[in-house]
Chain A
Amino acid sequence: MIQKPKKVLVLGSGSLKIGQAGEFDYSGSQCLKALREEGIGTVLINPNIATIQTSEGMADKIYFLPVTPYFVEKVIEKEKVDGIMLSFGGQTALNCGVELHDAGVFEKHDVKVLGTQIDAIKNTEDRELFVKKLNEINVKTPESEAVASVGQAIEVAKKLEYPVMLRVAYALGGQGSGVALNEEELAAKAKRALAYSSQVLIEKYLGGWKEIEYEVVRDAYDNCITVCNMENFDPMGIHTGESIVVAPSQTLTNSEYHKLRDISIRVIRHLGIVGECNIQYALDPYSEDYMVIEVNARLSRSSALASKATGYPLAFIAAKLAIGYSLTELENAITKATKSCFEPALDYIVVKIPRWDLQKFKHVSFEIGSEMKSVGEVMAIGRKFEEVIQKAIRMLNINLHGLVGNNLKFDDIKKELRMPTDKRLLAIVEAVRRGISVDEIYELTKIDKWFLYKIRNVVETEKGLLNCNIGNVPINLIKLAKQQGFSDFQIARLLFKEDGNNMGEKLLQARNLRKKHKITPCVKQIDTLAAEYPAKTNYLYLTYNGEEDDIEFKAKNNVIVLGSGAYRIGSSVEFDWCCVNAVFTLKKLGYSAIMINYNPETVSTDYDVCDRLYFDELSLERVLDIYEKENPLGVIISMGGQIPNNLAMRLDRQDVKIFGTSPLSIDNAENRHKFSTMLDSLGVEQPQWASGAAMGVAANKKELEQYLRKAAEVSKEHPVVISKFITNAKEIEIDAVAQNGDLVIYAVSEHIENAGVHSGDATMVLPPQYTYLETIRRIKEITKSIAKSLKITGPFNIQLIAKDNNIKVIECNLRASRSFPFVSKVTKHNFIDMATKAMLGMDIKGKYNTLDLDYVGVKAPQFSFSRLQGADPVLSVEMASTGEVACLGSDVNEAFLKSLLSVGFVIPKSNVLLSTGPIKSKADLLESVKKLAEMGYNLYATEGTAKFLEENNVKTNILHWPLDKKEPSTLTYLQERKIDLVINIPKSLEEEELTNDYLIRRKAVDFNIPLLTNAQIAKLFVESIYKKKIEELEVKSWGEY
């Protein structure tokens, strides 16, 4: 019998950021499930309130606290745990664990690290140790040397010869890494990297080699298997998180595959890893020569992908192995007949494509390389490469229809191929179309020719379709196109040669044509054994490369829930929480819940969450395919954010039953004209119009012109809405559930920032602390009247602005919003559960208290500016945050401070740099600055601010603006890290000062110095640190509030 721990602390990964996203909700949730079914007590620390793992019933105790050594130790003391899991919360949890170990905390409190031990972790994270370890067993690593200074770096690079690769120890998503072609580039990169880490690795650059990964599992009895291997479409030089990846590998021979597999097992045994890890290789495209690039001794983005690619529950198994099970004792959860000690055989191919959102940022480069910039990913499953790559492109939801059928223009096509950007894949298509040979494309991209040939096949089919019309197209060509992953839309566009507005009708014509000829997709199972044994699996995908469904369609009480798609700025884990909760409710009520989603980072795509999982597209075409097969009671479209919401009208037109608010009402709320007319009739005020995908505040004519151009690119049909911008107003949100037009439950949250900051980037307080009761009462009345008028049944969200009790409605979304998990968890009423019941017709009437709480919840945004070189870290009406956290406290200051600490903010030690913007915000912040002085901070200020403060009897030291190029300069102080906090409030919109401000902000971000750019946030921050010390922040679990 194994000696199981009694109570285990699991560290989560905190907010979603570039390089560390939703995949850790999946791994943490699986870990908790694995522990709970063993009867082991579970404690979780994770401030990411929108996750499934921080939901009721997932862990015995949940702490919405920062994953930092200080708070983790407090929780260890309080909960008296005897074991800790460090490998389920990404680099955040791992680094925190290493620090706690080094500080002797685990030893002091007698806490056992479960799974991979700290020594092994250090051997993988410390580059020098890592290389030494691998040398011991004659495994090759790239020639490299660890350095601690810029001088050393240059010396080493001379020895290795340029170009060299620079890597950072203990870093996330390749942060700070990059290729240096010469000394100048190296010096700049090394300096920046050394700001984050004490160790930097200078390495021989292997650009153009194949990049291959293996996911390896080992138990404490030395059983070791590789669950999945993956091949990067983009060769070495592009971070694997930025690469298109296929599983299994496609261009490796048996000899190469098993040589690398064997090395993986030898390395992982030698390192002594217990649980799951990932090993990355560079493989010479002209021989079997290889190099081990790195080992991640924890669950990772790749392991989440591998789990979804194979159906092998890596995180779940890793947790079981960590508490002492052997692989042979654990059942294969998919087949229920075989064991977990095996390597899945796939009879399909998957492809992952990253999702970028670079256009949301100012000044950011679109080139991709060794640092991660993507914010999410999609995965497509099929039985041909052409099929999966086309499916995956559509899944990105960036207005592309596949490899072909898009309206894209490239000027310098060869440059696009040579210098990869987020659009390179499409540039390859264009190059093929222009007749550039596969050999030449290979020379420019180093992408294996096998992939390029497949892309060429799609272009050839495109040509074939372009030469036909709907009347004369050969049926075999339609069939081939469908097998190569063409959508009905693509086929229609190529046959009709149109890109007008009536494509909706044309695509239905194409659909009807193929259906008439019985060209329909079939449903295949993912069973881990390629059908070798019978399997009871509900993990499914659709393909045209098959002629038989693997499953039968008998259930009478099916309900389909549409998922949220790729994580991107503005839509991430919070919508997955909503979808999963809807599924939970459906199952509880005895319905058979069918999930459709394609994001490998999610919990909703865990096949054991729902009754059937279709890992497939959320397009009209695919949803109809599934609807026609499953014949469900209806579809829930209001949980997954904007993607399913946008399908409402089109599904309705195809007579698909939609649960909840009618699609007509959704259209009435989404259409500005109709919505505006309705508000007028209700006597509800609105600002003279706002909204749109490309939002901005234009202060002058030139800026307005810029915005208009950008907006026209985003939407051709409804390009732009211009509205009067109201300054210094408060923004308030209401999240609510109604039934048959009656408001049942609602929660009011207020923004700390004044209106003008995107609600996704705003800091939200619940219940409101600074809003008049009168305002709240009036908001409730408005909400009631809107619910009635739109006959809402289900979740909805209204955004409003208030100035002196004067309230205007900005917009209304008849679906769950980003803040539903936040309000559900803070008020302890599950809004999604209620909304789902309401949509299914169950009576949910009752009295629900959401206002009079004994505590406060504060939700704060997480930005990833440090990973987006050049991006201006400033808030605007365009959303820029990549994630969020929320913490609870006895008052707003406590909850706010916890939240800020959770997104990586550090309480400044001594030096604060102030440049407090226009005179109004200077005056606004005067009291705060005085408090800082009173607390003993050394204040530095730019000239204007210094002068203003001096006039108000606050002494500061002047630092010159960057463009003045005079010492003492703000930039020098920042570079030398003499500043602990920067408060920089954007001033006017004059070009030069913008540049000055920008340079300060960017420098602060590049050198990892806390930065505040909003006056209201700065005020609240100073007030909070004035009132509370870190030691005074309560360590209380969710249940204790």
Chain B
Amino acid sequence: MHEGKEARLVLENGDEFRGFSFGAGHSTSGEAVFSTGMVGYPESLTDPSYKGQILVLTYPLIGNYGVPAKNIENSLDTNFESDKIQVQALIVSDYSFEYSHWNAKKSLAEWLKEENIPAIYGIDTRKLTKTLREKGAMLGKIIFDEENVGFYDPNAFDVVKEVSIKEPIVYNERPNQEKVVVVDCGVKNNIIRNLIKRNLTVIRVSYDYDFLADFFDGLIISNGPGDPKMCKKTIYNVGRALKHNIPTFGICLGNQILALAAGGDTYKLKYGHRSQNQPCTLVNTKRCFITTQNHGFAVDMKSLSDEWQEFFVNANDGTNEGIKHKTKPFMSVQFHPEATPGPVDTEFLFDEFVKMLK
């Protein structure tokens, strides 16, 4: 029998969930959020958007195919979305101690321990998810023995600063091809991979970098964690870029930053979107795309001037899923066209971005 040390998750409303440890053995805290995706835990765990969060996976069987080895191509890891596990902690129902996959190098538990990330299994994750759904994402802490820790709210901090790079990095530098700046608010590797794949030189800069001083053809505002309004500097820089008519593509947090830079507003959703099955309709058509999402805030379409139009809308709850300028080359989406994890149906948006550069 595999039985880890007992551990419990305590939510800020006092609810407690008891399970067993399969990761690092120390107490920790963060914002508890769930994701309903059924595959892709190595990708999710390394997604910087989860910075500061305790991730609850609703799919009950986790760890089945282990964890792949690091594999660097073009200075990027092909198997992960960033260079480390980003979540504060992981909560699952049934952890598979034995894994099986040709691509696996270690078990999920080994990886979590290596990276010093606590994890609990044996939790009724459906009950937990229902609690988080109804009460909104909540602060929580994982407690071992009686080693208590205080609650920690990542939304009250500049978490983007923690996940963003410090110094610019250039990828795929080649003569005679367009250059794009990626403002790294916690960018996922696959955004950069998608740009490289389309023969672009990528200059990855920190979230507060003043990129207008450089020469480049287009701008990507990346995904990232937390409340968009915390990214004041990024919003300010993007606002200036818009004045220069620089082709701009925002993704997830980038959608919210673009809206704020354009004078709009954002708000916190009652039910955040954290799954790989969100239907998004291309406005004014019957075309609908299945997308990966991971966000708790949304753009208030009404707050934008009539120079802007809604690009995509969520087919389930009608919330904004993207905006587009009516005349200028600015667009953004709330979902993740780069997927990983999730469906690749909207990858074509990177092609649209490339067209905007011409």
Contacts and interface: CB of A to CB of B under 8 A. Distances in A.
A254 interface: yes
Interface in A236-289: 248-254, 257-258, 261-262, 265, 285-287
Nearest to B129: A531
A254 B40 contact: yes
A450 interface: yes
B73 to A, nearest CB: 14
A328 interface: yes
A253 B68 CA distance: 10
Contact of A449 (B1, B60, B100): B100
B279 A347 contact: no
B344 A262 contact: yes
B124 A546 contact: yes
Contacts of A550: 126, 130
Interface string B139-173: 00000000000000000000000000000000000
A529 B126 contact: no
A287 B103 CA distance: 8
A532 interface: yes
A346 B1 CA distance: 27
B130 A328 contact: no
B54 interface: no
Contact of B339 (A221, A258, A329, A384): A258
A344 B275 CA distance: 10
Interface in B3-59: 34, 36-40, 42-43, 58-59
Given A342-B277, A532-B275, A328 B286 contact: yes
Contact of A546 (B64, B126, B345): B126
Given A339-B279, A448-B100, A464 B1 contact: yes
B93 A222 contact: no
A530 interface: yes
Contacts of A343: 276-277, 290, 343
B316 interface: yes
Q: How large is the interface on B (under 10, 10 to 19, 20 to 34, 35 or more residues)?
A: 35 or more
Nearest to A288: B103
A790 to B, nearest CB: 47
Interface string B258-275: 000000000000010111
B67 to A, nearest CB: 10
Contacts of A384: 60-61, 94
B125 interface: yes
Contacts of B316: 337-339, 342, 533
B281 interface: yes
Interface in B286-340: 286-288, 290, 315-317, 339-340
A250 B99 CA distance: 10
A466 interface: no
B311 to A, nearest CB: 16
B100 A460 contact: no
A1032 to B, nearest CB: 50
A872 B275 CA distance: 54
- Indicate the member of B103, B134, B288, B345 with the most A CB atoms within 10 Å: B288
B341 interface: yes
A531 B58 contact: yes
B87 to A, nearest CB: 16
A345 B126 CA distance: 12
A391 to B, nearest CB: 15
Contact of A345 (B38, B281, B343): B38
B343 A251 contact: no
A347 B36 contact: yes
Contact of A530 (B97, B129, B281, B344): B129
A546 B127 CA distance: 8
A449 B65 CA distance: 10
Given A285-B102, A480-B1, A545 B130 contact: no
B337 to A, nearest CB: 13
A547 interface: yes
B206 interface: no
Interface string A451-466: 0011000001100100
Contact of B38 (A222, A248, A383, A448): A248
Contact of A532 (B36, B103, B342): B36
A548 interface: yes
Given A343-B343, A349-B60, A532 B101 contact: no
A338 B281 CA distance: 13
B98 interface: yes
Nearest to B63: A450
B334 to A, nearest CB: 16
A524 interface: yes
A531 B126 contact: yes
A248 B316 CA distance: 23
Interface SS majority for chain A: loop
Contact of A251 (B65, B94, B125, B288): B65
B125 to A, nearest CB: 7
A450 B64 contact: yes
A480 B121 CA distance: 13
A968 interface: no
Given A533-B133, A545-B94, A222 B343 contact: no
Contact of B277 (A344, A349, A524): A344
A345 B96 CA distance: 20
Given A328-B281, A328-B288, A252 B39 contact: yes
B102 A258 contact: no
A329 B315 CA distance: 9
B278 interface: yes
A151 interface: no
Contacts of A581: none
Given A342-B316, A532-B271, A253 B101 contact: yes
Contacts of A337: 316-317
Given A383-B94, A453-B100, A532-B129, A547 B124 contact: yes
A345 B94 contact: no
A534 interface: yes
Nearest to B59: A347
Interface in B63-105: 64-65, 68, 93-94, 96-103
Contact of A250 (B37, B64, B281, B287): B64
Contacts of B100: 251, 448-450, 453
Contacts of A532: 34, 36, 58, 129, 133, 271, 273-275
A567 interface: no
B315 A341 contact: yes
Contacts of A252: 39, 65
A241 B4 CA distance: 39
A328 B36 contact: no
Interface string A219-243: 1011101000000000000000000
Contacts of A531: 34, 36, 58, 126, 129-130, 133
A63 interface: no
Contact of B279 (A250, A328, A348): A328
A683 to B, nearest CB: 62
B1 A223 contact: no
A548 B127 contact: yes
A464 B1 CA distance: 9
A326 interface: yes
A341 B291 CA distance: 11
A385 interface: yes
Contacts of A253: 39-40, 42, 65, 68, 101, 103
B226 to A, nearest CB: 21
Given A342-B316, A534-B134, A547-B127, 11 more contacts: A254-B42, A258-B39, A262-B343, A338-B317, A342-B290, A347-B58, A347-B60, A347-B126, A383-B61, A384-B61, A532-B271
24 contacts: A250-B64, A251-B64, A251-B101, A254-B40, A258-B341, A262-B344, A327-B288, A328-B279, A328-B288, A338-B317, A339-B316, A342-B277, A342-B278, A342-B279, A345-B59, A345-B277, A346-B59, A383-B61, A384-B94, A450-B100, A453-B100, A454-B96, A533-B133, A534-B134
In the A-B complex, list the 8 residue pairs whose CB atoms are closest, starting with the nearest.
Answer: A254-B40, A453-B98, A530-B36, A345-B36, A450-B100, A530-B58, A338-B316, A449-B100
